[in-house]
Amino acid sequence: MRTRVTRVSWAWGARYHRGASSFPVPPPGAVDVAELLRDATAAEERPSAAPARRTPAQCSVLLFPGQGSQVVGMGRGLLGFPRVRELYDAARCVLGYDLLELSLHGPQEDLDRTVHCQPAIFVASLAAVEKLHHLQPEVIENCVAAAGFSVGEFAALVFAGAMEFSEGLYAVKVRAEAMQAASEAVPSGMLSVLGQPQSKFAFACLDAREHCRSLGIEDPVCKVSNYLFPHCRVISGHLEALQFLRQNASKYHFRRTKMLPVSGGFHTCLMQPAVEPLTQALKAIDIKQPLISVHANVDGNRYMHPQHIRKLLGQQLVSPVKWEQTMHALYERKRGTAFPRTWEVGPGQQLGSILRSCNLQAWKSYNYVDVLQADEDLGPEESPW
């Protein structure tokens, strides 16, 4: 029988169905925040409930970063907090290697490999939740929504109680291995493009594909794969297409271009070979209804039920990440209504920088959990994109 994971106490399943060894259980008396959330929700739904409803300013939203945010040393600032080492011990059982050692000491080129960095970001993000819960438990208890960028979506779903930690990590492992294999089949990558109102993203991608055809590349791929914030996109595809765009950036009114530290053209049809392995892994996982709203990368909307989660997580591999649209869906509210507190949990503060460009008022209530420093500081993002 599987034991349902909780968002903070991490009640691991006794054994994973693929044969991993037993996972540790949390210490007696660990706080079950999932139960607190269920109790709070039930109280709000009872007509006779005495406690006043939480105001928007009392609520919180958690954002989980994706691939590209990895950095050697991540996790160092988390190890002094309860149950973090148990997360890494459990990860070692699922992955078969010492993820903590790789995260702390690298080398960076090994950490950057898709097969390693996706599990590393997943575990570091959930470990950051542990730190946040220890220092400011009310943030976790009052969380009403979560979203994760690409692989961060798996961490958001585990946090929301839709998957057990071990099963979520196994799905990430399968996903990362399949994406790594697909990346090695075709030289491809991802190009971050900071544009302006007159930028011509679609036209640029069309020209880049034509350039690839002139080089003899059949069925070239070049398309927008991430919508980050207004006039900022990530374009994925064949390396020759991305090189063409960098060389002709001024023609398409691109202000700045930068290759991302990833191994392939993610979120395009180049990742089609990875869909089936992930789909099969998700079929074997006991996915539950999330306890809070979790927004999907594919369309920015909330996941509705377990089958919806299975479908969109597979579709996400070959679909653009609509993060800008997700930010609008998360923070849409009537004029004059306060924004929830937003916390970025995981390495880096890139999602905070994107939020600032999407919604400045929402960003004013933004904070992040430091995964590098061993002190107990939690602080706001101060640097712009």
Q: Which pLDDT value is given to residue 261?
A: 84
Q: What is the mean pLDDT of residues 199-228?
A: 97
Alpha helix (H) residue ranges in 96-164: 99-105, 108-112, 114-135, 137-141, 152-159
From the candidates 116, 133, 134, 267, give the one annotated as an active-site residue: 267
**One domain, residues 62 and 165:** yes
User: Residue 224 forms beta bridges with which residues?
Assistant: 235
Contact in structure between 279 and 250 (CB atoms under 8 Å): no
Residues 114 and 137 in one domain: yes
Give the tens place of pLDDT for each residue, 108-132: 999 999 999 999 999 999 999 999 9
Active site residue 17: no
DSSP structure class, residue 302: B
| Inter-residue contact 379 to 367 (CB < 8 Å) | yes
Decide if pLDDT at 209 tops 60: yes
Report DSSP state, residue 270: G
**Residue 38 and residue 87: Cα distance in Å, rounded?**
24
pLDDT at 28 over 70: no
Q: Are 150 and 297 in contact (CB under 8 A)?
A: yes
Q: Which of 34, 55, 64, 12 is nearest to 290 (CA)?
A: 34
Q: How far apart are CA 47 and CA 314, in angstroms?
A: 40
Is residue 9 scored above 80 in pLDDT?
A: no
Q: Could you tell me if 73 and 157 lie in one domain?
A: yes
Instruction: Return the pLDDT at 172.
Output: 98
What's the start-to-end Cα distance of the chain, in Å?
46
In a domain, 43, yes or no: no
Q: Is 225 an active-site residue?
A: no
Residue 377 confidence (pLDDT) above 60: no
- Pairing mode, strands 60-64 and 143-148: parallel
Q: What is the pLDDT of residues 30-84, one digit of tens each?
A: 334 444 444 444 544 444 444 456 777 789 999 999 998 999 999 999 999 989 9
**CATH code, domain carrying 300:** 3.40.366.10
Could you give the CA distance from residue 381 to residue 305 in angstroms, rounded to a whole number? 34
Q: How many domains does the chain fold into?
A: 2
Instruction: Identify whether residues 174 and 199 lie together within a single domain.
Output: no
3-state secondary structure of 161: coil
Report the residue count for the chain: 385
Residue 35 counted as domain residue: no
14, part of any domain: no
Query: Is residue 22 in some structural domain?
Result: no
Same domain flag for 258 and 349: no
Q: What CATH number did the domain enclosing 251 receive?
A: 3.30.70.250
**Residue at which a domain ends, from 230, 263, 296:** 263
Express each pLDDT in 309-362 by its tens digit.
999 999 999 999 999 999 999 999 888 889 999 999 999 999 999 999 999 999
Nearest-angstrom CA–CA distance, 115 and 26: 28
Q: How is residue 252 annotated by DSSP? A: G
pLDDT digits (tens, 9 = 90+) for 129-158: 999 999 999 999 999 999 999 999 999 999
User: Is the pLDDT assigned to residue 384 strictly greater than 80?
Assistant: no
Note whether residue 327 is domain-resident: yes
In terms of domains, do 78 and 161 share one?
Answer: yes
- Domain, as residue range, for 217: 187-263
Q: 206, 231, 263: which is the final residue of a domain?
A: 263
Question: For the chain, where are the E strands, in sequence order?
Answer: 60-64, 143-148, 188-194, 222-229, 232-238, 256-259, 293-295, 321-322, 341-345, 366-369, 378-379
Domain boundary among 239, 263, 287: 263
Residues 156 and 295 both lie in one domain: yes
Q: Are residues 339 and 278 in the same domain?
A: yes
Torsion angle, CA of 110/116/122/124, rounded to 10 degrees? -30
> pLDDT (tens digit, 9 = 90+) per residue, 282-310?
999 999 999 999 999 999 999 999 999 99
Same domain, 164 and 201: no
Question: Could you tell me if residue 385 is inside a domain?
Answer: no
> Does residue 241 share a domain with residue 92?
no
Please give the pLDDT value at position 5.
Answer: 36
Residues 6+ positions from 303 with CB-CB distance below 8 Å = 157, 162, 290, 294, 295, 296, 309, 312
Question: For residue 375, what pLDDT is reported?
Answer: 60
As given in the structure block, the two tokens for residue 116 are 């390693």
Taking residues 93-114, report their average pLDDT.
Answer: 96
| Residue/partner pairs of 283-290 with CB below 8 Å, 24 or more apart | 283/310, 284/17, 285/163, 285/167, 285/168, 285/170, 285/171, 286/2, 286/163, 286/164, 286/167, 287/157, 287/162, 287/163, 288/4, 288/161, 288/162, 288/163, 289/162, 290/157, 290/160, 290/161, 290/162
What tokens were used for 122?
């997943």
The answer, yes or no, to whether residue 268 has pLDDT greater than 80, is yes
Residues 163 and 283 in one domain: yes
pLDDT at 37: 44
Compute CA 267 distance to the chain's CA centroid, rounded to the nearest angstrom.
Answer: 14
Residue 366 or 380, more confident:
366
What contacts 346, CB < 8 A, 6 or more positions away?
64, 65, 69, 121, 124, 125, 128, 152, 155, 369, 371
Whether 20 shows a pLDDT value over 70: the answer reads: no
- Considering the domain boundaries, does residue 308 fall inside one? yes
Question: How many Å apart are CA 93 and CA 23, to the nearest integer?
Answer: 8
Looking at the structure, tell me whether residues 164 and 114 fall in a common domain: yes
Question: Running DSSP on this structure, what letter comes out for residue 115?
Answer: H
Instruction: Determine, yes or no, domain membership for 238.
Output: yes
Lowest mean pLDDT among 165-179, 314-328, 366-380: 366-380
Q: Is 77:375 a contact under the CB 8 Å cutoff?
A: yes
Catalytic option among 69, 103, 125, 150 = 150
Query: How does the average pLDDT of the chain come out, rounded?
Result: 86
pLDDT given for residue 10 in this prediction: 42
